[in-house]
Amino acid sequence: MKKKSKAQIEIEQLRKNNFSTKRATVKNLEKILYKSFKVLDYGFIRVVDYMGDDSSIVQAARVSYGKGTKKLNQDKSLINYLISHRHSTPFEMNEIKFHVKLPIFVARQWIRHRTANVNEYSARYSILDKEFYIPKHKDLKPQSKSNNQGRSGKLSLDEAENYSKIIKENSRIGFENYSKLLNENEEGEKIENSREGLARELSRMTLPLNAYTQWYWKIDLHNLMHFLSLRFDPHAQFEIRVYAEIMMDILKKWVPLTHNAFVTNRLNALTISSDGIKYLKSLINGKGPTPKGISKRELDALKKIFNC
């Protein structure tokens, strides 16, 4: 509690900043700069810095001396063209920096995106907080029957309550053991004077994967969209998707034209294989039976999407 309020005070101080700059500046993003958006039970995500706006992309694409922009319509059209033709370099010219608090098992998925910069809170150097992700009952689901790497369906309330209790108790024990090994309580005091305590880099080993960590994470706009195309996806694990959802809102405030082009031409777009094209073609031209070659997986997907 004391710690959090200290964080709160520091954030509030930063939010009072008021500097004069010649740089491209985005009013809607400034409004939420440094602000902490709650995710899951103890997690958060906040924008700590950014560079560029929609017109910076246009400016870079044109290698121009000035703003590079003419009319809103032309910018919009150019950005749409760049996104739909996968011209990625102009989007690499914008950057955004986040401060994120997240469970370790989510952090382990997240870090697989290598084209980003990371500074993580070090448990060799510092002691982690007593904070663990405990899923809500509604998010505790059985293994999916169709998707080998996901969950789906519903548990009985009893079962969900039981699992919730197990996870809570497991977290409690893990942290208790962490403290014992460190020989240090939450107030930073020695527990037993007669013991030395174990080094932090070893004590952390008893913490379970739902313990929270935090990091600074910086990424360019092109790679952010790549991250979102994977993590905002319905197949992404729920616990990372909730972070991606907030990042989508932030993207919209930051670069509205790019956000719109991204949603239309990437997120909600569909890639059809050459077999799928043949199938659709025969369908459209009323040429009769299903062409061979198309996989069952794609056929089912096309039937569902095109309602045919």
Instruction: Name which of residues 95 to 154 contact a second copy (CB under 8 A).
Output: 95, 97, 99, 103-105, 107-108, 111-112, 114-115, 117-122, 124-125, 133, 135, 139-144, 148-151, 153
User: 224, 247 in Cβ contact below 8 A?
Assistant: yes
User: 190, 184 in Cβ contact below 8 A?
Assistant: yes
Number of residues located near a second copy, criterion CB under 8 A: 133
Q: Which of residues 250-289 bind a second copy (CB under 8 A)?
A: 263-265, 268-277, 280-281, 283-285
Long-range contacts of 154-157 (CB under 8 A, 24+ apart): none
Q: How far is the CB of 252 from a second copy (least distance, A)?
A: 16
- What's the one-letter identity of residue 291? P
* CA 46 – CA 102 distance, rounded (Å): 12
231 annotated active-site? yes
Q: Could you tell me which of 34, 44, 45 has the C-alpha nearest to residue 12?
A: 34
User: 103: helix, coil or strand?
Assistant: strand
293 is written with which tokens? Answer: 């070659």
Q: How far is the CB of 289 from a second copy (least distance, A)?
A: 16
Q: Mask: binding to a second copy, 153-192, rule CB under 8 A, as x and -?
A: x-xx--x---x--xx-xx--xx--x--xx-----------
Q: Mask: binding to a second copy, 203-232, rule CB under 8 A, as x and -?
A: -xxxxxxx---xxx-x-x------------
Rule CB under 8 A: say whether 37 interacts with a second copy: no
Q: Which is nearer to a second copy, 2 or 18 (CB)?
A: 18
| Phi, psi dihedral angles at 47 (to 5 degrees) | -85, 130
Q: Give the helix/strand (H/E) hosting 46.
A: strand 43-51
Q: Which is nearer to a second copy, 51 or 248 (CB)?
A: 51
Kindly list the catalytic residues: 231
